[in-house]
Structure 1
Amino acid sequence: MTETTQDRKTGFARRLPLILVAAVAVIGAITLRDVISFDALARNREALLAFRDANYVATALSFVAFYAVIVAFSLPGATIATLTGGFLFATFPGVLFNVAGATLGAVGIFLAARWGLGERLAARMDASTGTVRRIKEGIDANQWEMLLLIRLVPAVPFFVANLVPALVGVPLGRYALTTFVGIIPGALVYTSVGAGLGEVFARGETPDLGIIFSPNILLPILGLCLLAALPMFLKAVRGKKGL
């Protein structure tokens, strides 16, 4: 076996987790769209509540694991899962279960991307010059702020926020902590909506999932975004002044 062949096999093995994630994501997008849905939750709500009442700890652990799988494989239904967390466990501790599941899943896809592409790409960026190197240095100098910002901004897709840090060499611990903290505001909003699903079901209605974009919700979140970006702004000002 030549060295080139061995390198190719090693490269494929490193990319296998990421390939698996992509394959499951595609299959899930085709097959699970109608399975993990608001209608499915409405149809099975009584059975879910009965199982929760009889097996609370097992339900909580299973829910966190289920949520983690949805996020790790980018399956459809993360919003429905968040609503379910509120429906089954109320706003608290439901929000903790939602955030825990989302963080575990995000760590999973982060590790798959880091193992498959991230380390090599980060090394190339470190060795590069010009614009690419300046971008990498800018990210490195503001990692905490950037990581919190991409989690807080509602417009940043969760999948993108999971992958990008893995591709630029962000440490795992820093990624996990900022993910956990950064998704709390949005998770709290949707968990609270889920906690009120009993009344929504009774009226035969569907929840307003656009609530996060209402001014009384969006403005505080944008305020947190500005707070997260403030250190980067101060660093830029001090840099220009030579302080």
Structure 2
Amino acid sequence: SPTPTGRRTVVDMEINPTWIDPDSGTSIPSGPDCPIGYRWIGIGGNYGIHGTNVPSAIGTYASHGCVRMNEADVEDLYAHIVKGIPVDILYERVVVQQEADHTVVYYIYPDGYGKEPLDVSKVKAKLAPFGVASCVSDDDIKQAIEASDGNPRYVAKVYDIYLGGKKLDARAFGKDGHIYLPVMPLARAAGIKADWSSNWNQIRTPYGSAKAVLKNRSLLIDAADAPALLHLTGSLDENYNYQMK
């Protein structure tokens, strides 16, 4: 049974709960045979967030609409919440996260109830607020949609850029051991004239030229080329900001 979407509230919490089968009324006390594990977080009706004695079933369509978690995770969650807090249940196949080191990762989950058909544009719209829509190819997204396996797909690291202490609107990207910079916003901020040659895939400035890649209407250069091309140097600070001067 699908979990009802929308806002609910934690209405009851129980340690070592007894499970009652909603179909037959059979009860199973707390213990290794109890399907809801050792923590129950009720969110109204017969629905709850709980553990499970069959961890391999997590992520499959096997419950009566409850939300199952690994036991260690639900016990940790239980210790950090109280009755009355809101619970928002979303049907969301595409989940995008930014990790502690600023790596953006996305997951695509199966459409078990046929509620959210996906295409490349919809996935890119989810990636856009994180600034990495241009860093993943259409083919890669198509493959991810076809798989819909919920596995993490790492896109790139994203860094805010500061020039002379002032934050720019554009962002830098880290991928495959390189940092890539949006050259045109940097050139404008530094007051440097820059020209793009599509025939040679090069950016030219009064200081020199360098290869550039056009990604989603943004021209990117390798940060290693910035000193010769723009007379600017940069590095990451402890907060994962890319500081340039």
Q: Report the TM range for the smaller structure's normalisation.
A: under 0.3
Whichever structure has more strand as a proportion of its residues is 2
TM-score (normalised: structure 1) = 0.26
Larger relative contact order, structure 1 or 2 (CA cutoff 8 Å, min sep 6)? 1
TM-score (normalised: structure 2) = 0.26
Larger radius of gyration: 2
Whichever structure has more helix as a proportion of its residues is 1
